[in-house]
C-alpha cells in the first residue's frame, strides 16, 4: 500500500512539473480528490428536489406550508408487490396542464413521507392516451422498506408548478 502511495505521489509530481496534469483526466482526478480527512468532514449531498412532510391528510413543503392542490395532475398505481423486503408501487403520473410527466412522486404512509421518485420510465401508451405525444417518460416505480409502510400508503403527484394531487388509489395491506 505504501509503494502505491509513493508511486501515485511521484506520478502526480511528474505531471505537475511537466505541465501535463491539466490535460490528463487521471491526474486531474488525483489532484482534485479530497483527502480522507476532508471526506470525513464533508456535508451530505443536498437533494435537488424539495423535501415534503405529511400531516393530517395534507402534504407540506419544506417550510411547513400546505402544498396547493392541482386538478391537472393525473396518474395511477397499477401494480404493488413485495420484493426483497421492500414494497414497490408502479404506475404512471402526468401533469396535463404542463403537457409533461409529473415532476415528482411522493410516497406517504402512517409515519409520513417515506420515499420520493421521479417518473421517467417509458410509457408511450399514456402519452398517446392523453394526447401528449412529445413526452413518453410517464412511468414510475417507487419503493420503501416494508417495515416503513404502515397499514396503508398513498401516492402524491407533484406538478411542474409545485402543486400536488393525491391519487385516489391507496395501497392497503
Q: Do 24 and 90 fall within a single domain?
A: no
Q: Which whole-number Å values give the CA distances from 76 to 50, 101, 150, 164, in the listed order?
A: 22, 12, 20, 14
Per residue in 39-48, pLDDT tens?
Answer: 444 343 333 4
Per residue in 100-156, pLDDT tens?
Answer: 999 999 999 877 899 999 999 999 999 999 999 888 899 999 999 998 888 888 999
Q: Do 22 and 101 fall within a single domain?
A: no
Q: Do 17 and 100 fall within a single domain?
A: no
Q: Do 35 and 118 fall within a single domain?
A: no
Q: Do 134 and 84 fall within a single domain?
A: yes
Q: Do 64 and 34 fall within a single domain?
A: no
In the three-class reduction of DSSP (H, G, I as helix; E, B as strand; rest coil), residue 28 is classed as: helix
Domain count within the chain: 2
Q: Do 37 and 93 fall within a single domain?
A: no
pLDDT of residue 50: 54
* Residue 98 scores a pLDDT above 80: yes
Question: Is residue 47 situated within a structural domain?
Answer: no
Q: Do 153 and 75 fall within a single domain?
A: yes
Question: Is residue 126 situated within a structural domain?
Answer: yes
For strands 139-145 and 86-95, give the pairing: antiparallel
Per residue in 46-90, pLDDT tens?
Answer: 334 458 888 778 888 888 889 999 999 999 999 999 999 999 999
* Residue 21 scores a pLDDT above 90: no
Largest Cα span, the chain: 66
Look up the CATH number of the domain holding residue 70. 2.60.40.10
Residues of the chain above pLDDT 90, percent: 49
Check: CB of residue 78 under 8 Å from CB of residue 92.
yes
pLDDT of residue 64: 87
The mean pLDDT of the chain is 76
pTM comes to 0.68
Question: Is residue 46 situated within a structural domain?
Answer: no
Structural domain for 17, as ranges: 2-41
Amino acid at each position: 500500500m505504501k509503494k502505491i502511495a509513493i508511486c501515485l505521489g511521484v506520478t502526480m509530481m511528474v505531471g505537475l512539473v511537466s505541465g501535463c496534469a491539466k490535460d490528463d483526466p487521471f491526474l486531474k482526478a488525483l489532484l482534485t480528490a479530497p483527502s480522507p480527512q476532508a471526506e470525513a468532514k464533508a456535508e451530505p449531498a443536498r437533494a435537488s428536489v424539495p423535501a415534503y412532510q405529511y400531516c393530517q391528510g395534507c402534504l407540506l413543503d419544506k417550510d411547513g406550508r400546505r402544498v396547493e392542490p392541482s386538478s391537472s395532475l393525473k396518474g395511477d398505481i397499477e401494480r404493488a408487490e413485495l420484493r426483497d423486503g421492500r414494497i414497490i408501487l408502479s404506475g404512471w403520473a402526468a401533469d396535463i396542464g404542463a403537457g409533461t410527466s409529473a415532476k415528482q412522486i411522493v410516497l406517504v404512509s402512517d409515519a409520513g413521507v417515506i420515499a420520493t421518485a421521479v417518473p421517467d420510465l417509458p410509457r408511450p401508451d399514456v402519452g398517446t392516451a392523453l394526447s401528449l405525444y412529445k413526452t413518453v417518460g410517464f412511468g414510475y416505480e417507487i419503493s420503501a422498506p416494508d417495515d416503513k409502510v404502515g397499514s396503508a400508503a398513498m401516492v402524491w403527484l407533484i406538478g411542474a408548478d409545485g402543486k400536488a394531487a393525491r391519487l385516489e388509489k391507496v395501497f392497503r395491506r
